[in-house]
Amino acid sequence: MYIYEVTIIVKEINRQGVSVVIPCYNSEETLGDLLEEINLEFKEKRITKYEIILVLDCPRDGTLQVAIAQQKKNRKITILELNKNFGQHAAIFAGLEESKFNFIVTMDDDGQHPVNSIYELLAPLCGEIDVVYGVATREEHNFVRSFFSRASKYLTFKLLNIPNAKDLSAFRGFKKITITGTNFKNLTSGVVDVVLHWNTNKFLSIKVEMSKRTKGKSNYNFYKLSKFAIQMITGYSVRPLRIATMAGILTFLASFVLLTFIAIQAVRGEIIVAGYASLSLFVLFLGSIQLLTLGLIGEYLGKVHEHSMGKPHYLVKNVIKP
């Protein structure tokens, strides 16, 4: 019975086709092994209708040479060269624009995402599920890095009112209909997961065993993770502005109550020495709220300015077909 079900699923996968999109940056040491693993996995699962789209995000090592060498071995590989380093999500969008099949898988180039779990991402897509995330059973980074990354992503997605924030991952499979109608090139900034949440609510997460990084190091540091969070918050929702407005209203009410209390004390003659400490704290608190609000407004205005300039989200310099 199980073999029969697998056969039916594989037939459906081959009918829909699979586009594997891999953003690549300084992955000379890991990319070759990853592509050979994918090729062997698809042969073993008898998945024949697929393509692999490598998006080279202006790497500084020999990633391009490795990609070209692998393309000579596997004619299902297409290579996109971006004109400069636009970032991971911009690179993924460039790959999605190039993709031609109905099932799409995105994964990293460092070999940590388990190739043998690609089938597990694809199988639910043969039914009603639109997006499947492969979530690590245990953290692949050190505790501090993993905690900061997960906490920032969780709080950011919660702020954007995106459900199941803790189950998001860069190892994902989804149907092409979930990105249909999105003009990737006209986005001034973009994050794949938010775009997916725009178009569907049929999500599933599965546990996968992530591999340990044996070569190279992560390109994400605390600064880039913070920048990513700000980009997420200001790029897809006006909720931060509404929260800032509510904070302003609450601060005003608190100020009014405090001023009323002080006025009553003054009338009664109970104030002998002005409260320097309480006044200083109140001014600092009010100033921080104002600066936060101005910063948020500045971020939104900056995005409007970028959009008015026609700044592209990515620019493909060269497409190397097999």
Domain map of the chain by residue range?
A: 2-220+313-320, 239-309
- Asked if residue 56 has pLDDT above 60, the reply is yes
Q: What is the dihedral of CA 162, 166, 171, 175, to 10 degrees?
A: -30
pLDDT for 199-242, tens place per residue?
888 999 999 888 775 555 555 555 565 666 666 565 555 566 66
Residues 6+ apart with CB under 8 A from 197: 162
Most confident of 52-56, 162-166, 191-195: 52-56
Is pLDDT of 63 > 70? yes
**Residue ranges with strand state E in the chain:** 18-24, 50-56, 77-82, 103-106, 131-136, 172-175, 203-208, 316-320
11-22 average pLDDT score = 96
Look at residue 296 and tell me whether its pLDDT is greater than 80.
no
- Tell me the whole-structure pTM to 2 decimals: 0.74
- Rounded to a whole number of angstroms, the CA Rg of the chain reads 25
pLDDT of residue 290: 75
pLDDT at 41 over 60: yes
Mean local confidence (pLDDT), 110-123: 92
Query: Residue 262 — very low, low, confident or very high, per pLDDT cuts 50/70/90?
Result: low
Backbone angles phi, psi at 136, to 5 degrees: -65, 135
Distance CA 158, CA 252 (A): 26
Average pLDDT, the chain: 79
CATH superfamily of 2-220+313-320: Spore Coat Polysaccharide Biosynthesis Protein SpsA; Chain A (3.90.550.10)
Q: Contacts from 120-127 at CB under 8 Å and sequence distance 24+? A: 120/206, 120/208, 121/171, 121/172, 121/173, 121/206, 122/9, 122/13, 122/18, 122/47, 122/173, 123/9, 123/13, 124/204, 124/206, 125/16, 125/173, 125/174, 125/175, 126/9, 126/12, 126/13, 126/16
pLDDT of residue 35: 96
Residues 269-282: pLDDT tens digits?
665 555 645 665 56
Angle 256-288-277 from CA coordinates, rounded to 5°: 65
